[in-house]
Every structure is written in C-alpha cells, then in structure tokens.
Structure 1
Amino acid sequence: MRNIQTREGFEFWDKLNALPRYAFLLSPSGNSVQKFEDQAMGNWIDVHEAQKVVDQAQDDINQFRSERDALQQRLTAADEQIDRLSPRHTEQPEGKRERFEKWVMATKHPVYGFLDGRSLARGDDRTGYADEYVQGLWVAYLAFGAEQPAPVAVVLPERKSVNTHNSHDWDEGHTDGWNAYDAELKRLNPSL
C-alpha cells in the first residue's frame, strides 16, 4: 500500500530520485564533453548507483516471493488435511460421480435442455469438468450431497366418468382432459 504522506511504498522510487543527476555539455571547440551535476536539468544518473537501488528492490521482491511460496505450501497442506478428514470422502467417489453423470444426462436443464456426452469431458485437473455449467453442477452436487430422494407413494384421484344423466359439454371436456392427463402420467410412470 502506498502512502504519499509517509512515503511508504515509495522507498525505491525516492532512492532513485535522490541519486545525483548529471548533464553534459560539448566544449566550444567540439573536441570534448564535460559532465556536471545538475539536479534541475540533468537527465542522466550513474548506472552503478541505480543498479544498487534496483538490487535492493529485487532482494525484497525475492524475499516476499519465498514467503508467499512457503505460505502457499502450508495452505495446500491444510486443504489436503481437511479433504482427508472430510466425511464426504469416505464414500467411493467413482460411485457418486457415476450417479451424477447419469443424472446430468437424464435431466432436461433450464436454458440448455438435454446435454450430450461432450459436456462430461474432464477438465485439465481430471477431477472436474471442462464445461463450466457441468462443473458448477458437480461442485454443488459434492457440497450438498445431492443424492436421489427415497421414493414416496403417490395417490392420484381415480379416472372420471362422464355423467350422462346431467351432462354438459364443459363436463365432458373436463372429463376427457382429466382422463388424457391420467393416461399420459401412467404411461410416463408405469409404477404408479
């Protein structure tokens, strides 16, 4: 973080700007060049002095990088330990993955409709999916343990019969519609 008042974050910039600046003049005879210190108009600094400042900055950068790398290793080790201790890893992941893939292929997804097998291509790390939509479904599936719910008994009303004694066109249309719905439901779900 840089702070203009305290000059925090400007240390190396200030060191470079504090180096003496030089200007060069060609002698009137044109045979020589004179170097003189000129902070106001000089655009030249001594390369060796500038290199010292840059070396200090690079040393600090290297130290920060090694500290970052050590922290990343600790974080990775902690993540791996959490994964090993997590109860969701006690199941066989192959069985869960197979159930997930069957569900993905059998489900009509909003916007996308039915997906084809290409959507199940694995990503670069081989644990996820290359398709972002399917990867999002997989992460949610793992996080929330989206197992199939246990089957429940469904009780549906009986088929309607037409009341021929006091029938109206509306009653007959309603009965025909209900019976068509009931037939289609049973065709799609033979166990009902």
Structure 2
Amino acid sequence: MLTAGSSSITGQLFARDNQSAIKGIAILNINKKQYAPAGTEVILIPYTAYFKEYLEESKKQRKRGKPLNLSGEALECMRITKVGGSGGKYLFDKLKEGTYFLYTRFDYVHTATRTDVVGQTDHYVNGSYQGSSDITNSYGVGMSGDALVEKLVTIDKDGEVKEVNLKKTL
C-alpha cells in the first residue's frame, strides 16, 4: 500500500480549546488554533487486518501495564513525515488506494478562565439589610497539554488527494 501510488494525504495538525459554557459542546469554537510545532512527527500505517488486531490487543495489554510492540515487518510498513513550517502542515504522497491509520502526538498550551470568590458585599436600604453579593476575581490560566490524535483515512481511487486536518479539541 505504500509504494507506486499517486494519491496523497495532506492537512494541518493543531489543537484548539473549547471554553463553551456547556462542557463538551462546541457549536462554534472560535478559539485560536495552536499548530503543532515544526518537526512534529506524523505516522502513517496501512490499516490492514493485522494492524487492526494489533490495536485491539494493544488496548487490552495497556490496561494490564504491558506494552505490546509491533512486529519488525509491520514497522517496515510505516511512513513518517514531519510537520513543516509554522502552520502545522504535513504531507504523505505516492500512496495507493486503501485505508490508513494516522497517528501523532504533540504538546500545546491549554487555556481556561477561572473565577474565584474573594469576598462579599452586604447591601442595605435605609439601614435595613437586603442581602449580599459575591465579589469575584476572574483570571486566565494556561497549562501544558498533550494532544494525541488518531484518525482513519480512506483513499478510494488512485490519484486522489485527501485533505485531513488532525485536530484535538478540548
């Protein structure tokens, strides 16, 4: 699957925070993309029956704390490319028809807004206590995050160019 084809998979690799008020739901995520740095590796592996079985067994073994390695023959079928420039762009070319597994991992900064109650203000009208309200302090925080992105991509015909953005949205 990795030789003598004329198809390509290209795209961008990035992470994006979701600071929606409803956790886990982002109808429109307007937060800035954080592109993977130049040199970040993107791995392409043909999604064969062997590799599919390897993924399933690997998940089981990880839960037991025993990593499972790919065979040497399978490792020879992998292709690795690196993100070039500052826009998170990557490219795999000369591919045949078939399904491929894309995998990458990179660090980025996860940002969040935090609000703390720092005091209270009492409210009076004509000397009569009416209630209290919180005094709050809001600030932004940044933490390093780790984006792990896995995606299956299918090339249906020779010569096809697939545009695939690999993204991690929190």
TM-score of the superposition, structure 2-length normalised? 0.22
Higher percent of residues as helix: 1
**Structure showing greater relative contact order (alpha-carbon pairs closer than 8 Å, 6 or more residues apart):** 2
TM-score of the superposition, structure 1-length normalised? 0.20
